Structure 1
């Protein structure tokens, strides 16, 4: 076995262990009643997520890659996300927390045996360890969903983490990205998921984009100027939703009798931090703010070009800063902190164009719907991407403080309904250039 294969095997073992450690931390901190409770109809009981993680791991790694006998074939339908809506899952005969922990532990033991024996090449699903990386990404995506469930639960705080780093530089204004073609997506990243592929040339007209995400301070000015009371700032659907949902501020914001704003963060009320990127806003709120400042949300292609394109080389980077993996000084990822960092906290993570904090902190809404790239091919199953194409979704990019590095890169695509804001979502604005600017 080559040394490269053994290094890959070690890396896969590390990302699998990291994802499981996080899953355990997010569930062991709660008692059985809280694990089986539904904290919001938008979310599953945490014990469902835990067993579902194990079931997907069993289906793909134990049975498919390993060719082993099933551990629990009787629960496949129970933990099929497409057969049971989240709101209905509490009524299902779910595994108890003790049973779920035992199940995922048994599956994981078998998975490490499969990993030790896999050649990590040959079959497409095993090439470069894709199946193992896919499952690690799946678990981390559910970990972020479980983290969002923690934000929605009531009761005393059970999670803790150090604060993010302070701002190291001042970041303000906008960055102009020149017109031209760049290669969007990827055909070479071995762990990229099917909707990120294939790489394809996209011509993007010149545009300007915010150098940093919109902050609490800037968003508060929108509120103070009556942004939630002015239908001309909202799309027709957005205004209807604002009225129906009675939106008046980002989710988890509260104003005290003295007019001071606070934000609830995993069970703790904290004063609103002015320089922190706004989080927990839906697409319609972001769209209305953008209109208020005379701008718009960036398209998905604009976002990716601002994040990946290097004008000096003409190449598309894997991350804004280059091809090296994320580190703690480049991006706020992996639940290392329980909130976004202030704007200017990660100068070494800026893109070649000079755009900051594109990776981590908050998922950023774009104006684009979720559609396949030209030449898209389903792999390895249609239910990951294909069944969602063309629906009522908007693309989010960049990851959040709750996204693990294994599930975040410059090509990674997230999508959700435009009304959703329990996710760790924020945004930045863009605009077309004037004719004078284009001359």
Structure 2
């Protein structure tokens, strides 16, 4: 007789079923899509803004652009393609581990015109490689993994550049239509998630990165999870109740940080005589009460949860709520199923320049009825960034392994600035718990 864990499976990804030519076309499409976004983010400002450092937390936009090209040259042109180096003289300049962000403006970086010409030349060479290289026989090229990895890398830097735009001062230069309004009917405040095992991580997603692997059985106790991310309106109650001034809601590190930096609200919020306003990509507007709160640190999220009599979910709890289908025992690729994200499922890809109101994506709900787990805001979890059992670094230690430890907290789900190629139900993001410039929010959990 089979037991309940015998049903724990995940769905094979459709990329494994594509023929070589369709796979090449798909890889070219996601690379083109990423480059179009990089171009839009860098063409939106003049050359002076491209080379300026808008915050010591971020690189100049022109560094990100050339770094995208440098990584593509290293992996696709030189490694996968075996071609001669184009610009070996700049390898060190664009090595993220050699130069902290705060120091990068002082480096002899490529100027805007030179950076644009460089990334264009690299892309031409990379497409030559894509046209010829066998997509079997080597793990780096199996299912076009290296090309998917570089598309994800570029989109991750595009989200970083979008965060730089948020820190930029001046007139608005980015524009997008508003997100959809609430479409769901009345929603319960929280959803019950049954305890027991589920399959966490992946062994079948061809473009999954090393920290998402391997798939393994995880157990969670039964718990309740907020149906939607915490909204601005709910968070404002914490602010106006004096939550930032009450030591009892904060852990020691969080309390020290908010005191040292005189933090009293989410980043980019300010109080005026007639209410609360935020600055969003150069636009000053009233804080919308029904959108997920964004630009809060892990410490702020944990303090709110304590104030609300709850806690942050663990990473395993988040993934079970997002992927587990109790009817089949299967872990889905996404909350809504196995299909790639569409505009009806989630707020992704910089399609809109803000989170959508809670309840805006009922088609994206999980089988348990949890909404907006993917898109809108990255969601802080209570978990440290650790390797899964059986983790193997691939294709280099510096992607994940060097970051494992208690210094970083895991975020899940992606934001409105995350592209679909760079997020999935197993995708793991991580950052320092003090970070506020990222597009991060949260939802709460409590024990059943």
TM-score, normalising length from structure 2? 0.95
Which position in structure 1 is the counterpart of 2:387? 372
- 1:121 and 1:147 mapped to 2: Cα distance? 35
Which position in structure 2 is the counterpart of 1:236? 252
Q: Provide closer, same or farther for how the CA distance between residues 385 and 171 of structure 1 changes in structure 2, counting only shifts above 3 A.
A: same
- What are the residue-to-residue correspondences of 1:187-198 with 2, within 5 Å? 187-198=203-214
Deviation track 1:210-246 (CA, whole Å, cap 9, x = no partner) reads 0000000000011111111100011111100110111
Which position in structure 2 is the counterpart of 1:273? 288
In the TM superposition, residue 7 of structure 1 has moved relative to its aligned partner by 1.2
Quick one: which of 72, 82, 103 aligns to 1:88?
A: 103
Which position in structure 2 is the counterpart of 1:426? 441
Q: Verify: 1:50 aligned to 2:65, yes or no.
A: yes
- What are the residue-to-residue correspondences of 1:330-341 with 2, within 5 Å? 330-341=345-356
Deviation track 1:333-354 (CA, whole Å, cap 9, x = no partner) reads 0000000000000000000111
Q: Secondary structure at the match of 1:367?
A: strand
Which position in structure 2 is the counterpart of 1:254? 270
Quick one: which of 115, 134, 144 aligns to 2:130?
A: 115
- 1:413 and 1:74 mapped to 2: Cα distance? 33
Deviation track 1:95-118 (CA, whole Å, cap 9, x = no partner) reads 000000000000000111111112
Which position in structure 2 is the counterpart of 1:10? 25
Q: Secondary structure at the match of 2:134?
A: coil
Which position in structure 2 is the counterpart of 1:216? 232
- 2:164 and 2:332 mapped to 1: Cα distance? 33
Q: Secondary structure at the match of 2:219?
A: strand
Which position in structure 2 is the counterpart of 1:310? 325
Which position in structure 2 is the counterpart of 1:436? none
Q: Verify: 1:385 aligned to 2:400, yes or no.
A: yes
- 1:199 and 1:92 mapped to 2: Cα distance? 42
Q: Secondary structure at the match of 1:368?
A: strand
Which position in structure 2 is the counterpart of 1:437? none
Structure 2: tracts of 5 or more residues without a match: 1-16
In the TM superposition, residue 3 of structure 1 has moved relative to its aligned partner by 6.8
- 1:134 and 1:101 mapped to 2: Cα distance? 21
Q: Provide closer, same or farther for how the CA distance between residues 284 and 3 of structure 1 changes in structure 2, counting only shifts above 3 A.
A: closer
Q: Secondary structure at the match of 2:436?
A: coil
Q: Verify: 1:407 aligned to 2:422, yes or no.
A: yes
In the TM superposition, residue 177 of structure 1 has moved relative to its aligned partner by 0.6
Which position in structure 1 is the counterpart of 2:370? 355
Which position in structure 1 is the counterpart of 2:93? 78
Alignment check: 8 A CA contact 1:366 1:397 kept? yes
- 1:98 and 1:308 mapped to 2: Cα distance? 45
- 1:319 and 1:7 mapped to 2: Cα distance? 23
Alignment check: 8 A CA contact 1:172 1:212 kept? no
Q: Secondary structure at the match of 1:340?
A: coil
Q: Secondary structure at the match of 1:366?
A: strand
- 2:410 and 2:187 mapped to 1: Cα distance? 25
Paired residue total: 431
Large movers: runs of 4+ above 4 Å = none
